[in-house]
Structure 1
């Protein structure tokens, strides 16, 4: 009896199934790769690339704050004196006339200093930025550039309620933009994870309480002379500059 052995070209049914299966798998893998490669990627826009540098935000902020603080002093001008013919009495009278302007200048300098520190705290917690957040910060800086005008207006017309209200609205705009930047940054996950909730709690409380105090001080001008409101705003500023441990305010 002659026993025939299958040659190399003869395959068992199991081997045929394995080869067909592997071939089918390769065809499926190739088809999947083609499908994935054919899916179009979302084309990035220039808006997706702009405003992403926190360092540039810090740079322009420091520049605008420094210019704004410098422009404040331009409102302190000695007028009506005739050079070498001026007497000490005349000069003293002119300096006394500048007293209200000097007080309002000091108040505005503290205002800008307080908001510079507040914005710096927010920017220091950034891990990244985007175009929307950058424009919120630019709107905040726009409010900063208005402070010299508001200061000059109030210094020249400190007894008028309109000048005081305009100055207060400038403070509202500053606080509102700082608050908007905080809330947007939290939603967009722009801040560092560590200490983010604590920073948000403290900054929210500081902005809301400060704005409430400013509003209350300004509304008193309806009943009392404007200098009462101005004096209270100065006291509010001193509270945030000196930071005494007042039980209610020390929480933030």
Structure 2
């Protein structure tokens, strides 16, 4: 009876080891899942944009000037939408670039990327919070923390890939540049968050400039290298 039990336990252990060795190895499936989640997150962002409600429009907005004033009151929603759309675009490109330097995935790396995608799904919430309370520092800090978590998850995936031998041999130098890029970007975002001490609008303005630098990559001084 004891021998039979030990044999069953050994068999279960071997099956578990076998499963863990082969689970989550497809980069293509991981990339497809990422594309879907990013697409949903960016779509949800637009739901934060609102036009003046019909009742408000019928009662008060009877001229172009009043309508323009009502639209300007919704300007925080548009600004935070553009911020977050650029943020998700930057991180989507960063994740796809990172995975392009991997030979394959494994179970641990897949879970790291799932953790990264979990932070991506939080972006519509933090965006809505910031749009609603754009003048409050707490909302700005929560928004920055969302970006920070995304950066940390991307950085952890890169470090794990280097240490676990998942990288292509010819990509090791490039991944060093990616590591530096993530660290510099997160440092700039942290500076932007600290500027909320002056005023949240100053902080938001700085973050937008950082994002525009990574989106446009201007050939000015060394800005295209960070």
Q: Give me the TM-score of the superposition, normalised by structure 1.
A: 0.79
Q: CA deviation at 1:77?
A: 1.3
Pick aligned residue for 1:98 from 46, 52, 74:
74
Aligned equivalents of 1:71, 1:47: Cα separation in 2: 34
Q: CA deviation at 1:84?
A: 7.4
* Contact kept? 1:51, 1:131, Cα under 8 Å: yes
Aligned to 1:227: 201
SS of equivalent to 1:45 = helix
Aligned equivalents of 1:129, 1:191: Cα separation in 2: 9
* Contact kept? 1:220, 1:228, Cα under 8 Å: yes
SS of equivalent to 1:75 = coil
Q: CA deviation at 1:125?
A: 1.4
What are the residue-to-residue correspondences of 1:1-252 with 2, within 5 Å? Answer: 43=14, 44-82=17-55, 85=58, 86-89=61-64, 90-194=66-170, 196-222=171-197, 224-252=198-226
* Contact kept? 1:81, 1:91, Cα under 8 Å: no
Q: Once the two structures are superposed, what CA deviation does each residue of 1:187-226 show, in whole Å capped at 9, x if it has no partner?
A: 11112111x222212101110111001101110112x110
Aligned equivalents of 2:57, 2:188: Cα separation in 1: 47
Aligned to 2:3: none
Q: Which deviates the most, 144-153 or 242-251?
A: 242-251
Aligned equivalents of 1:140, 1:249: Cα separation in 2: 26
Aligned equivalents of 1:127, 1:221: Cα separation in 2: 42
* Contact kept? 2:23, 2:106, Cα under 8 Å: yes
Q: Which deviates the most, 242-251 or 207-216?
A: 242-251
Q: Which deviates the most, 98-107 or 78-87?
A: 78-87
Structure 2 unaligned regions, length at least 5? 1-9
Q: Give me the TM-score of the superposition, normalised by structure 2.
A: 0.88
Q: Which structure 1 residue ranges, 4+ long, deviate > 4 Å from structure 2?
A: none
Aligned equivalents of 2:62, 2:169: Cα separation in 1: 64
Between Structure 1 and Structure 2, the one with more helix by share is 2
* Contact kept? 2:20, 2:107, Cα under 8 Å: yes
Q: How many residues align?
A: 211
RMSD over aligned Cα, in angstroms? 1.9
